[in-house]
Amino acid sequence: MTTPLIPVILCGGTGTRLWPLSRASYPKQYWALGGKGDETLLQQTQQRLEGIEGLDSPLLICNEDHRFIVAEQMRQIGIEPNAILLEPMGRNTAPAVAVAALQATARGEDPLLLVLAADHVIKDADRFRAAIDAGRIAAEEGRLVTFGIVPTAPETGYGYIEASESLDGSALTPLAIARFVEKPDQATAKQFLASGRFTWNSGMFLFKASAMLAELERLAPEVVSCCRAALEQDVEDLDFLRLEREAFAKCPSIAIDVAVMEKTQLGSVLPLSAGWSDVGSWSALWDTAERDEDGNVLRGRVISEGSRNCYLRSEHRLVVGLGVENLVVVETDDAVLIADRSQAQNVKTIVKQLEADGSREGKAHRKIYRPWGHYTSVVEDSRWQVKRISVKPGASLSLQMHHHRAEHWIVVSGTAVVERDDETQLVGENQSTYIPLGCKHRLTNPGRIPVELIEVQSGAYLGEDDIVRFDDIYGRTSQTFKIA
């Protein structure tokens, strides 16, 4: 009988080197990148596993602020997760792996766990599935298998894994691990490639849950004890399991490589050549994408004339490239990036500068997603702002009140049920309603099409943390619903 295999998809990370598209409020793993279709990187991570024998439903681990994005993207591809575990704060990959192994063995079962990042591109899915099949025997025998990427260049941005013997580029065979090496300099990276024994550390793993737990207990017992306490006190929140905050906060922040893989005698590396990329920058995305005859990657409303070797992307407005070379141009609703491809890695420093300045553009887009739909900031001033709001069919905003602002709602499409204190009214297209300061209110979409409305706010303070919630079908509270 085939041992069940549970994908463990780690959805953390903010992908700041793909700013202005990827931001803390909506990171790169939730965007459609690295493919021709509309599937996001997260969806691609799950879909490339189709056809694997014994494949079970995935277990996803994410930031609680992104929980509804994760759930919705799984729903869109027809996947009902094994569980969606919510981390109250990031603690690196060792705690995430520990939580996954504890959750997977909670009912006395011992499945194989396939640990994957949600933001990788793998072009040759058939080869990747073959590698997983090749690693199963070793994993079922108690080995901790990591997938090492056969290097194509002396990259200095990746960690390396040295195998106990030279690689056979065509063989999918797990090899004993000699050592892990942190990111090398250029000269050392060239030596690694010349030796024929090194692979890039991909951060993907395959092992039996019990085997990893045993090594974690032996090598990082504090990680296991904190994660066990956080799971024992977890709270079911709709379709999510919310780890207990105080217990998880005590957990050491440490990578699974450092906690276990660099110390264990059970590690094996399986060399993999399948068109892998961690999409760590716009230049990396250009490297992995299909390009036109001029070497350009064009996405969205883009016109290119006489341009060569560029990545040009438009999310809203028309972007025109005339006679430019080796540029990255990315247009979003509130920012435009123009960079030489060779400088694309330095975008991260710009994001740090924006965050230090308190600029909203460093963390969030104008379009903010919520479990009931989304809203877009259209224009704002010190005492007033205008938003466009879209509420999904059957969805409802929380019953809430504001201390510092009043709101006008003008419905431009669909029909809404609006509660105002003790009054309920039906507001249709081209109709409006007024929400005075201090009024308890809620909007619900009872129809089959989205409700689109324009909201005009006015008051002394317009921050999203001026929300007092009395009831919410999504389990949110005033304290957890803030835009940093």
- In this structure, are 167 and 66 located in the same domain? yes
Residue 480: its pLDDT value, please?
Answer: 39
The answer to whether position 478 is within a domain reads no
Going through 41-192 in order, the beta strands assigned E by DSSP cover: 59-63, 83-87, 112-117, 121-122, 144-149, 160-163, 175-181
- In this structure, are 224 and 295 located in the same domain? no
Query: How many domains are contained in the chain?
Result: 3
Which DSSP state fits 325? B
The answer to whether position 176 is within a domain reads yes
The answer to whether position 361 is within a domain reads no
- In this structure, are 422 and 313 located in the same domain? no
Residue 170: its pLDDT value, please?
Answer: 67
Give me the average pLDDT of each 10-residue run along the chain (484 residues).
Answer: 92 90 94 82 96 95 91 94 93 96 91 96 94 95 95 91 84 90 92 92 96 97 96 83 93 95 95 92 91 96 97 96 97 96 92 93 91 93 95 96 96 97 95 96 97 96 91 72 35
- In this structure, are 161 and 307 located in the same domain? no
Cis peptide before 20 (omega within 30 of 0): yes
The CATH number covering residue 176 comes to 3.90.550.10
Strand partners, 389: 375, 453
- In this structure, are 68 and 129 located in the same domain? yes
What is the residue range of 270's domain? 5-277
- In this structure, are 251 and 310 located in the same domain? no
The answer to whether position 103 is within a domain reads yes
The CATH number covering residue 382 comes to 2.60.120.10
438 alpha carbon, distance to own chain's centre: 37
| Pure H helices in 259-323 | 282-288
Among 314, 347, 380, identify where a domain stops: 347
Residue 484: its pLDDT value, please?
Answer: 29
- Find the helix or strand (DSSP H, E) in which 198 lies: strand 198-208
Residue 237: its pLDDT value, please?
Answer: 74
- In this structure, are 341 and 394 located in the same domain? no
Residue 418 contacts by C-beta under 8 Å, 6 or more apart in sequence? 409, 424, 425, 426, 427, 433, 441, 442, 443, 444
Pairing label, strands 302-305, 160-163: unpaired
The answer to whether position 41 is within a domain reads yes
Residue 416: its pLDDT value, please?
Answer: 97
The answer to whether position 163 is within a domain reads yes
